[in-house]
Amino acid sequence: MPMCQGQAYGGRRYFTREERKAWLEDYAQELEAELKAVRERISDLSASV
């Protein structure tokens, strides 16, 4: 679900409160995984110095 709450090619324009909440929870999990990967990379770089 895009943040602009629209879909291309005639999809629904608005999402329910539950759909927005689910999308945000999924997005938060993706961001947490990305942050973990960044922290691991920083740690790897620090260890190789």
- Report how far residue 24's alpha carbon sits from residue 14's, in angstroms, rounded to the nearest whole number: 15
Interval 6-49: pLDDT, tens: 555 667 778 999 999 999 999 999 999 999 999 999 999 999 87
Q: Could you report how far apart the first and last alpha carbons of the chain are, in Å?
A: 41
pLDDT exceeds 90 at position 4: no
- Report how far residue 40's alpha carbon sits from residue 46's, in angstroms, rounded to the nearest whole number: 10
Q: Are 13 and 5 in contact (CB under 8 A)?
A: yes
The number of residues making up the chain comes to 49
User: Tell me, what's the pLDDT at 11?
Assistant: 73
